[in-house]
Amino acid sequence: MSRIGKSPVTIPSGVEVKVDSNVVTVKGSKGELTQEIDSCVSMSVEDGTITFTRESDAPDHRAKHGLYRALVQNMIVGVSEGFKKELEIVGVGYRANANGQSLELSLGYSHPFVFEIPKEIKVSAVSEKGKAPIVTLESHDKQLVGQVAAKIRSLRKPEPYKGKGVKYLGEELRRKAGKTAAK
């Protein structure tokens, strides 16, 4: 059995889970999410817990067993608590401004980037004097937050010499020595 797939998912209070054949709908205080589940994995909701079972031990079915359990777990956490990603913008003259659902980034190019954020995500940018600007993305959809954060990071990935660029808050970068270290 899959270690992840066989562990049950507990449903916290205030979260409503509805199953219609292959579609799971999870509703909570932060929003509503739906996910289609493959027919090889069946799920049952009893006494505030969800259990997943697979129809056979085929490698494809074993992989999907843990996958769908993790997806439903993330949906439940998302609608009850939410997810948050923070990006740090490191570099002289690098700036970030958030106005509504648009994020304007100055990343050392000749033009600023205006990035339109999906309506499901709340975005905020904090700039303190002497510190790198921090962009915060919050939503109930884990996949969407990660995808938008990765897209913003791809605009200027951190370089290994000075560490300039867009990085996740707390991300450890592998640094390289410059030309002077060769002597």
Same domain, 92 and 56: no
Same domain, 91 and 144: yes
CA distance 170 to 99: 25
Burial class of residue 45 (count of CB atoms within 10 Å of its CB; 0-12, 13-18, 19+): middle
Question: Is residue 176 included in any domain, yes or no?
Answer: no
Q: Which domain covers residue 34, as residue numbers?
A: 3-80
Same domain, 27 and 13: yes
- Cα 32-33-34 angle, rounded to 5 deg: 135
pLDDT at residue number 2: 62
Same domain, 61 and 18: yes
What is the number of structural domains in the chain? 2
Question: Is residue 174 included in any domain, yes or no?
Answer: no
Question: Is residue 178 included in any domain, yes or no?
Answer: no
Over residues 50-76, the pLDDT tens digits come to 999 988 888 888 889 989 999 999 999
| CATH code for the domain of 105 | 3.90.930.12
Over residues 118-174, the pLDDT tens digits come to 999 999 999 988 899 999 999 999 999 999 999 999 999 999 999 899 999 988 989
Question: Is residue 156 included in any domain, yes or no?
Answer: yes
